[in-house]
Structure 1
Amino acid sequence: MKKLLLGAVLCSLLLVPAFAGGGKDGSSSAKELVVYASVDEENTQKILEAFTADTGIKVQSVHLSSGPALARIQAEAGRPQADIWLGAPSDNHISAKDQGLTIAYKSAAYDHLDGIFKDPDGYWRCFYMNPLCFGVNTNALARAGAPMPTSWADLLKPEYKGIIQAPTPQSAGTAKVMVYALVEMMGEDAAFDYMAKLNRNIQTYTSSGTGPSKGVGVGDCAIGIQFTPAFFSFIEQDYPVEVVFPSEGVGFEAPAVSILKGVKNLEAAQIFVDWLVSKQGQDSLSDKNTFFYPVIPEAKLGPGMPPFSSLKVISYDTDYYAENTNRLVERWVNQVLTAR
């Protein structure tokens, strides 16, 4: 599989044609859709409400994190209770494809989506991106008497001891992306040496990938390491929060969507995946304040979001890290979590 490599590519993405699926005008017989959603519940609701408003198709959703979602889809193989799996990193969708749990679907919307955002056989496509960052509560940072961090290297300084939260790769995909990015930037041994040193400054590791933002928002910690949306949302709500992209570079996620094999509402499922990567669907990410980055260049950006092409993002081979995740997490537990 291609590396997730975006910097210059975003400038040359092909334009996605206007959404032309069925809708409220009666041009489609599709009436309902059932979704297993691995996007956070608030943003799932925003996306699905926008889809219903645009198409008239009613949606029921069940929220499941990526691991439980895949387990449920496996248990329901060939007779799924949902039509769509929405969200979870693309390596999860690769696993679902390899196990025969999803079906291929290609259309004009698929054809015009850049190759880095889709399975070459049509089994899944990515529909948004999130880069990692440092979210900084400026009031808490001032109370700690620490300067604004600008790099991964800065976080090792003694003035940041006990004021940083990060998720654990034992349970959070966000933390796994951080591990992958650091390994790509530094090499595996140096990355684990770095994370062991960083552990001395960590206040707590959260089980959820979005856990650090909760501490940052209320000022329980000064710095949180996670994906950007919650921090941009805080800024929009006038919290004393700033977003920092460390100078060495950042990893990112690009969650995907798949149609499950044996669905009851195939036409509605096809309309949905086309809508997600259309300009209408992509604009809804910003219109609804999800603060997700779109995967097509002409779509809107949310308030305060710098263009993705301006960020120094770190590419990584999703197949390699899918195969090595368990080993890397075990090494993290043994070498990082126990470091003093």
Structure 2
Amino acid sequence: MKVSLAIPEKTGNKKYAAALLAALASLSASAEQAELTVYTALEANDLKKYADRFNEDHPDIKINWVRDSTGIITAKLLAEKENPRADVIWGLAGTSLLVLSDQGMLQPYAPVGVEKLAKGFRDANDPPAWTGMDAWVAALCVNRYEMEKNGLPVPKSWKDLLDPVYKGHVIMPNPASSGTGYLDVSSWLQLFGEDEGWKYMDGLHANISRYTHSGSKPCKLAATGETAIGVSYAYRAAKLKNQGAPLDVVVPEEGVGWELEASAIVKGTHNLDAAKKLMDWSVSLRANELYNEGYAVVALPGVAKPVAHFPPEVTERMIENDFSWAAANRARILEQWSSRYDAKSEAE
């Protein structure tokens, strides 16, 4: 929309007319800028960076973020199923998107360049309901000083954490709110079997000091010495270690869970054209280079650069994660987990 206004040559209020023209021009520019409500579980301090990089290529689209932890965003989307408020999901656990897809809540769309993504980083349907961005992998963040001070041996496996010597020295994420927490729980149930998996978590619970609502928080707490061991993810541990934190990054020898971070268009959006542009950008080379600033594994092959202190054994210890099973059983698993262990969860 272009705005024009004829101003008589003889006017007693040229300043007013100029101000009016400027205001109308501003109104015109605003009218031409699309706005997207984007739901995300990306780290809060990364949101401006993501929006700024996208706007370098698409200054005509404004992103309005709605950010929370994975579980909260997933629950919010499900609650809004009949009256969706989000246009796009950019940065949410793949298992959550599988749940939303099964509910018929996602708009299938094949972003430009989607065929270049690595196997497993896109929905198998054609067109796909979602596309992957990056992956994060479980690991232990172990504070060397705290371990030495408390006379604790460095654990090598998940089951090592059952030793009573670790009582009160372990913090992990709550799976109901944290995608990292859920990948831990679902991977233990796959690794050990359901009966043994719950027995394992019973034993681990005895040593847990508290459950956090963020997947990165246990590692941050380990980095600052507020706990000896934080159950978190490998890239966060490597990044904090690279910044000078006294951490060892331990990849448990039984194998580790992992999760995709992914994006999708919400069915029913009134801003479909702008949503498609964001999805196109989300699988681009520029976007994958952005993801690599926060994750060591990204969707586009050949993009990821080596990360200092990222343990090389991670890839060989990533389990064959059954994402469909994890998504289909999510509600049941979380209900059982909460009934058993939620008393130690920190207040929101």
Which band: TM-score by shorter chain? 0.7 to 0.9
**Which amino acid in 2 is paired with 1:329?**
L
1:30-75 alpha-carbon deviations (Å, 9 max, x no partner): 8654312222212233222222234434433221334443455456
- The TM-score with structure 1 as length reference comes to 0.80
Unmatched runs of 5 consecutive residues or more in structure 2: 1-31
Q: Which of these residues, 276, 300, 304, is aligned with residue 300 of structure 1? A: 304
Which residue matches 2:120?
Answer: 116
The whole-number CA distance in structure 2 between the counterparts of 1:152 and 1:70 is 28
What's the counterpart of residue 312 of structure 1? 317
Equivalent-residue separation in structure 1 for 2:37 and 2:167 (angstroms): 46
Structure 2 partner of 1:141: 147
What is the RMSD computed on CA atoms of the aligned residues? 2.9
Counterpart code for 2:38: V
After superposition, give the CA deviation of every residue in 1:213-266 in whole Å (9 maximum; x if it has no partner): 232122011110022343223112211122111111100110211112233433
- d(CA) in 1 for partners of 2:332 and 2:82? 31
3-state SS of paired residue (2:141): strand
Match of 2:330 among 302, 325, 329: 325
Output the CA distance in 2 between the equivalents of 1:55 and 1:263. Answer: 19
Kindly indicate whether the alpha-carbon contact (under 8 Å) linking 2:100 and 2:106 is maintained by their aligned counterparts in 1.
yes
Higher RCO, 1 vs 2 (CA within 8 Å, ≥6 residues apart)? 1
Within 2, Cα distance between the matches of 1:192 and 1:80?
Answer: 36
- SS of the aligned residue for 2:117 comes to coil
Q: Indicate which of 99, 105, 116 corresponds to 1:101.
A: 105
1:159 aligns with one of 147, 151, 165: 165
1:78 Cα deviation from its structure 2 partner: 7.7
Q: Alignment partner of 1:131: what SS? A: strand
CA distance in structure 1 between the aligned counterparts of 2:216 and 2:117, rounded to whole angstroms: 28
TM-score normalised by the chain length of structure 2: 0.78
| Residues in 2 aligned to 1:308 and 1:107: alpha-carbon distance in whole angstroms | 33
Query: What SS does structure 2 have at the residue aligned with 1:263?
Result: coil
1:220 to 226, 232, 237: 226
1:182 to 2:185 alignment: no
Where in structure 2 are the equivalents of 1:64-79 lying within 5 Å? 64-70=68-74, 72-73=76-77
Q: Name the counterpart of 2:41.
A: 38
Q: Is the 8 A contact 2:172 2:211 kept in 1?
A: yes
Greater C-alpha Rg = 2
Identity %, equivalent residues: 32
Task: Write the distance in 2 (CA, Å) between the matches of 1:195 and 1:311.
Answer: 24
- Mean CA deviation greater in 173-182 or 61-70: 61-70
Contact 2:69 2:214 in 1 (8 A): no
Pairing 1:285–2:288 present: no
**320 and 300 in structure 1: CA distance in 2 versus 1, 3 angstrom threshold:** closer
Contact 1:196-1:337 within 8 A present in 2 as well? no
The question of whether the paired residues in 1 share the 8 Å contact of 2:187 and 2:256 is answered with yes
Amino acid at match of 2:145: N
CA deviation after TM superposition for structure 1 residue 79, in Å? 6.7
